[in-house]
């Protein structure tokens, strides 16, 4: 584990134990990582989009700091952050009353390089609905997608967060992506 990763884990544990100074030290470290994740999610957003990475980070950060969670380690923190970012993006898309299926927009493939693109509002809603259906069938596959794409965790970090091997993450990711592709393709028809 790199020194930064160890430091985040140690600071989370100190904060959980009641050390408020640990939170002050933790904030700049996780803020930069959350900012990177938010930028990645919004990088290919359509022109004129009103949600900015800074606003996404601030909202996620506030929700994370207000959460009454016994942080275990860095991977656990970013796993929860992934869920929070996903919720914020879905709430944002819903609040802006986008057409549910994108009004003939070009679909965005789900892969490591692109999660959110120019048609993000409807895509995020469709993806959220599909992830909810996947979670009902196989929660672990849904968690893997969420941690990798919304949380920006690596395969190893995702494996650690879910207490499985990286090979299992890779195998289940393939199945989850195939299932999501089928679901999202059917919903467009």
Per-residue pLDDT tens over the stretch 120-169: 445 677 878 888 899 999 999 998 988 887 777 888 888 888 889 999 99
Residue 68 CA to its chain's centroid (Å): 19
pLDDT in tens, 10-54: 988 888 888 888 888 888 888 888 888 777 777 655 555 677 778
* Structural domain for 109, as ranges: 3-188
Own/partner long-range contacts of 31-39 (Cβ < 8 Å, ≥24 apart): 31/57, 31/61, 33/78, 33/152, 34/60, 34/61, 34/81, 34/85, 36/152, 37/81, 37/85, 37/150, 37/151, 37/152, 38/85
User: How many domains is the chain partitioned into structurally?
Assistant: 1
pTM of the entire predicted model: 0.58
Give rounded-to-5 percent helix, strand, coil for the chain.
70, 0, 30
Helices and strands counted in the chain (H then E): 8, 0
């Amino acid at each position: 584990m790199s020194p930064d990763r160890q430091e985040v884990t140690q600071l989370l544990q100190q904060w959980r134990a009641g050390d408020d100074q640990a939170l002050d030290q933790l904030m700049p470290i996780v803020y930069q990582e959350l900012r990177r994740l938010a930028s990645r999610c919004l990088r290919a957003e359509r022109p004129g989009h009103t949600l900015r990475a800074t606003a996404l980070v601030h909202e996620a950060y506030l929700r994370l700091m207000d959460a009454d969670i016994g942080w275990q380690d860095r991977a656990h923190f970013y796993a929860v952050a992934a869920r929070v970012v996903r919720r914020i993006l879905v709430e944002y898309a819903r609040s802006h009353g986008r057409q549910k299926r994108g009004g003939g927009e070009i679909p965005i493939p789900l892969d490591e390089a692109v999660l959110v693109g120019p048609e993000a509002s409807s895509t995020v809603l469709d993806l959220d609905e599909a992830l909810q259906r996947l979670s009902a069938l196989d929660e672990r596959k849904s968690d893997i997608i969420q941690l990798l794409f919304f949380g920006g965790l690596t395969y190893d970090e995702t494996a650690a967060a879910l207490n499985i091997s990286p090979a299992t993450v890779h195998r289940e990711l393939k199945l989850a992506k195939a299932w999501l592709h089928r679901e999202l393709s059917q919903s467009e028809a």
